Structure formats: structure tokens, C-alpha cells
Structure 1
């Protein structure tokens, strides 16, 4: 009887160890969570030479997401029940056949393109003043979704009026050469990462955003840079912008 008891006890111990091992085993998923926010009106982000630059009493926040790789079953289970973070298949971020470094390089290339487009679109909106040079310095941000806020930041600096009206306004969205604002990924995480009253949301992200909006946050629906400028003007005037 004593020997049998030892064997049963040993079997229970093995079961516990296997369960614990499975709980902390890696899974083929990543966590997408809110990342840092960055004020594009900061003098270190956008530098304009060859023209007078106006000051702003408010902020325009560029929002980001972070990807947490190498998660285990326990982390995946916790994330599944959270509203703020998202559990997504790893291959959706790191496709098979591409190294992490290759993915990072591709995202950086997309960001560089979005910088160039933002400068071109912004200068077009302010009349392309002769001799103006704009440089952007944003580190550790990839992808195209910073385009809208960078565009607005440049326009604000080259416009005598304070476009923010003293408000802190966050946003996101790709910008194309014709001034259209395109959808981005991670909108729920970006909404939760920005502790503000107003958020500029690409029109094609509105349906997803409405289902994830934190209490007290007003969504401003924008399909173009002109829509975004109108939303800023409306907010500055103390009125309600067009919402999702």
C-alpha cells in the first residue's frame, strides 16, 4: 500500500509539472498593446527652416502600438480577456519566411515614405512657400500610420493660427499623395493609449473604433486631410466635430 501511495503521488507530481510546463510554453501569437504617444508639435520632432514657425498652446499626438513577441500560454490567456490589448497570430505580424529584422526594415521603409508624403501634402496645403525645408525626427516608429498627424503638425507650424485651439488631440491614419486618409491597424490599442478628449479616426476604421472607444473620448471621423483640418477648427471653436 505504501509503495502504491508513492507511485500515485509521483504521478500527481508529474501531472502538475506537465500542466505548469504547458502554462508557460510559448504560443504562436503576439500581443498588440498601446505604445508611446508623441507630440508632433514638439520642436524636436518637426523642424522647419526657411519660414516663420508659429507656436501652439495645444498638442497633436501621434499614437503607436507595441508588439510583444515570445509570449506564453499564461500571457495569451490573460490577454484574451482584456479590452485594451489584442492577441493576434504571430504570422500576421511576422510572415513566414521573413526574419524579424526584415519586418522591422520594411516597416521603417513605410514610415520613411509616410514622412515624405506628409511633407508634400502639408506644403501643398499651405501654398508651397519657396525655400522652406521640413525635416522629421521620429525614432523607433515604423509603418505608415503616422502620416496624418505629421501632416497636421507641419501645417500647424506653417499656419499663423493655432490649429489645436489649446486642446490636446490624438489621431492616426495613413495619408496618400492626394490627401486621402487611409485605415490603419491597432485602432483599439491606439484609442486606449491616448489619454485625451478627442481622437482623429480614419473613416474606414470608424466601425472598429466605435466598438472600442474608452469612456469620455470623442471620435472625429476623417476621410481626408481637409476633414481633419475641419475637425481641428471645429474643436478649437468649442463645437462637436463630425463623429464616427
Structure 2
């Protein structure tokens, strides 16, 4: 066999062997890609995304789209060929597996966590929108979760209203940890609570719950990587009573990043006129009860997904602006927002055609 032919054959066989090896060699990476985008002012799977009853609503127009990121599952084993292809693909992003699933988190655990964050983001979106409209919302601190095998298990329950800790009135969820950690591990802490069942019954009867109980719990020592401190094994959150019904109907979506767009959609439906002026606006960002907008992950995937559906403007959390501006899809204007008030101001400029006044993102 001629040397040239033999060399080409050997090179071809080597290439085939490398490709075969690449297919079977697993690598510790996952992939992110643009996910679906849904108009919060419209319908999804045949029903309105935002359903409000007990309060007058108004017709809307245009789009206020929430955006998502599609990720590979926790147990998906990416091979070397797929990783290389993902690195080269413009609209996808390959990231270390632990970035999406830290500490060996399972698919089930990740799904549950995302569902909880999504539910909390909906509540905060409602509160932020109503506060912006000066509509009163009743709020109180509750036991959000109880850690298994912790001192609080069986003593406190999710939904219990925390009125006080050691006799000190609790006003914010952060107050609970502050008061508990004043103790040394092993000391007793006294919770004054309204049991969840009592609270639910009072809400159903449109009354204020008055029956309280005092629960004494012996603190334990924290076992995380931080400084050792007293804990009881709960996380505190906030619950609300709204003066009318607001339901968000959107399945198969998780995480907190749609909060801003839900809040704007609610605001639009409760006010006359159109926030967008008929324009296609998309966006992302967490939101807290006070209307502050926070950063999210996968911003590059979300801008691509939004533009592919026709978005002209993208409301971008200020902390994500630099990353988003490095590779902005053609035809999409990135608008920087820190609060719901910023977003409402930007929408006013958009519908008024004053786009030169928009606070745009830069790659600095």
C-alpha cells in the first residue's frame, strides 16, 4: 500500500476512533438554551395567564413577556462531542454541572426548589403591584419550612404565624433568625404563634386570628460551613391576604425570575390604558415585596429567546446589564431597571415613543 494512502487511512481511523471515544466519554457539564417566552397579558394553554376577580380590570394590548431558560436534567450525562458542539453554538451555553445542580442536587430536589421559588415570586409580584397602586395588602411572618430531624420538627409547622420570639414582636422574616441566634446552642427559645389551622379558619371567615400558643424549643448547633450558631431548624417567610383574587396560571415553569413581568402584567390589568402602547416588551428579574428587581441566571439565553419571538425591548435587571449587553440580539433594546418604578417609567417612554430617554444597558 502506498505510504500516502496508508497515512490517510491511519489518520481517518484515528479520527473515527476519537469521535467514537468522544461520544462515550462523559463530561461534568450541562447545557442551557433559550426556553419558551409567555405573554403575561395573554393566554397560555387556552386560559389567561393572569386571572383577576373581585376588582375591575381593563383591556390590555401588546406584550409583557416573561422569559425562561431550558436546561438539561440533573441526571443527563453529556459527552465530549456534545460539550464541544455546545461551546461552539451561538445560542447555547455549556456550564459546569454543579452550577445548575450544586451539592449533588437531584432532579426532584431541583424541581421542588424551583416550584417553591416560583410560588414565592408570584406572591411578591402581587404585593409589589398592589403596593405600587396603593392598594392595601395584609402581611405577616410565617413558618415557611421545617427541617427534618430538627428541634422544631413536630413543634412548629409550615403556615404557623410567628407573632413573637422570646416576647419580642416579629415584623420581618429576618427578625426570627436574629432573635434565635441571640441564644447559645442548647438554650431554650420561646415562639408565640398562631397555629396554621387557626389562621386558615380566621382567613376563611374574614376575621383576625386571636388564639395564640407559646412553644418552647431547645436550640441546636448549626452544621453548615459558617460560624457556629443557635438554630431551631425553620425558615421564615411572609404570607399575605389580598383584597381580591389574583391567580397566575402557568404550569411547567420554575424559579423566581418571572416576578417583575408578573407584577407589570397585574399592574396593567388593574389600570386603564395600555402599559406597552401595543409594543412587544419582554423581560426578566426577581422582585421583592417592595418592588426591588434582582438579578437572574441565563440572561443571554433569555434575550435570544425573547428576540426570536419578536420582542423589541427587554427589561433587564441592572446587575445583569453588563453580561446581557456583551451580545445583544440585533433589533433588541436592553432597558436597565432596578425597581418596578423604573420599569413603569421605561414603559411610559416606550409607549410615548421617547426611546432616546430609556436607560439602556452597556457592556461595562
TM-score normalized by the length of structure 2: 0.62
Deviations 1:85-113 (A, max 9, x none): 11100111112332111011111111111
Q: Post-superposition shift, 1:15? A: 4.9
Moved over 3 A (4+): 11-18
Match of 1:133 in 2: 245
Match of 2:157 in 1: none
Match of 1:188 in 2: 300
Give the secondary-structure state (helix, strand or coil) at the position aligned to 1:154.
helix
Q: Distance in 2 between matches of 1:112 and 1:220?
A: 26
Match of 2:40 in 1: 40
Greater gyration radius: 2
Root-mean-square deviation (CA, aligned residues, Å) is 2.1
Q: What does 1:220-239 correspond to in 2, within 5 Å?
A: 220-239=335-354
Structure 1 residues without counterparts, runs of 5 or longer: 2-10
The answer to whether structure 1 residue 56 and structure 2 residue 60 are counterparts is yes
Q: Distance in 1 between matches of 2:121 and 2:339?
A: 15
Q: What does 1:155-166 correspond to in 2, within 5 Å?
A: 155-166=267-278
99, 102, 107: which one aligns with 1:95 = 102
Q: Distance in 1 between matches of 2:83 and 2:12?
A: 25
Q: Post-superposition shift, 1:13? A: 9.2
Q: Distance in 1 between matches of 2:15 and 2:69?
A: 36
320, 335, 340: which one aligns with 1:205 = 320
Match of 2:359 in 1: 242
Q: Post-superposition shift, 1:215? A: 1.2
Give the secondary-structure state (helix, strand or coil) at the position aligned to 1:83.
coil
Q: Distance in 1 between matches of 2:62 and 2:114?
A: 29
The answer to whether structure 1 residue 171 and structure 2 residue 280 are counterparts is no
- Tell me which protein shows more strand as a share of its residues: 2
Give the secondary-structure state (helix, strand or coil) at the position aligned to 2:281.
strand
Q: Distance in 1 between matches of 2:55 and 2:71?
A: 39
Match of 2:87 in 1: 80
Q: Distance in 1 between matches of 2:292 and 2:11?
A: 62
When residues 187 and 13 of structure 1 are mapped into structure 2, their CA distance, relative to the original with a 3 A threshold, is closer
Q: Distance in 2 between matches of 1:74 and 1:168?
A: 38
Q: Distance in 1 between matches of 2:352 and 2:306?
A: 22
Structure 2 residues without counterparts, runs of 5 or longer: 2-9, 137-241
Match of 2:213 in 1: none
Q: Post-superposition shift, 1:128? A: 1.6
Greater mean deviation of Cα atoms: 15-24 or 79-88:
15-24
Q: What does 1:5-44 correspond to in 2, within 5 Å?
A: 15=14, 18-25=17-24, 26-43=26-43, 44=48
Q: Post-superposition shift, 1:14? A: 7.8
The answer to whether structure 1 residue 111 and structure 2 residue 118 are counterparts is yes
- For the Cα contact (< 8 Å) 2:40–2:50, is it kept in 1? yes
Q: Post-superposition shift, 1:18? A: 4.0
Q: Distance in 2 between matches of 1:193 and 1:157?
A: 25
When residues 76 and 51 of structure 1 are mapped into structure 2, their CA distance, relative to the original with a 3 A threshold, is same
The answer to whether structure 1 residue 219 and structure 2 residue 226 are counterparts is no
Give the secondary-structure state (helix, strand or coil) at the position aligned to 2:102.
coil
Match of 1:145 in 2: 257
TM-score normalized by the length of structure 1: 0.91
Q: Post-superposition shift, 1:213? A: 0.5
Give the secondary-structure state (helix, strand or coil) at the position aligned to 2:104.
coil
Give the secondary-structure state (helix, strand or coil) at the position aligned to 2:71.
strand
